[in-house]
């Protein structure tokens, strides 16, 4: 049975099973829009395999991380542009 880890999404604590990727965790936290395009349109995960770059978020202060390519770690802080 997987362990649960606690992360923060836009400052709100979220518990997710270990080995959850950040895109899934952000979605689990209720966010559909992860960032905004240069014209201000909402964007979210599309390909789920690291190609489209639509799922970018800030992770532990590092902007433009592809959330579908990063596994959650305990204490991780994730920020979307939709906050």
Q: Does 57 bind ligand FES (CB under 6 A)?
A: no
Q: Which is nearer to ligand FES, 10 or 56 (CB)?
A: 56
Residue range at the interface with ligand FES (CB under 6 A); choices 4-12, 13-21, 48-56, 71-79:
48-56
Q: For every residue of 30-71, which 3-state class applies, written as one string?
A: CCCCCEECCCCCEECCCCCCCCCCCCEEEECCEEEEEHHHCE
| Nearest-approach distance from CB 78 to ligand FES, in angstroms | 14
Q: Does 50 bind ligand FES (CB under 6 A)?
A: yes
DSSP state of 26: H
Q: Which is nearer to ligand FES, 4 or 54 (CB)?
A: 54
Question: What end-to-end distance do the CA atoms of the chain give, in Å?
Answer: 32
21 and 5 Cβ atoms separated by less than 8 Å: no
Binding site for ligand FES (CB under 6 A): 45-48, 50-55, 66, 68
């Amino acid at each position: 049975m997987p362990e649960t880890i606690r992360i923060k999404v836009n400052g709100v604590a979220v518990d997710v099973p270990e080995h959850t990727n950040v895109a899934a965790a952000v979605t689990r936290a209720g966010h559909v829009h992860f960032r905004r395009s240069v014209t201000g349109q909402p964007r979210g995960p599309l390909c789920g395999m690291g190609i489209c770059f639509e799922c970018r978020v800030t992770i532990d202060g590092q902007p433009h991380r592809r959330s579908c390519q990063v596994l959650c770690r305990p204490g991780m802080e994730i920020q979307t542009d939709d906050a």
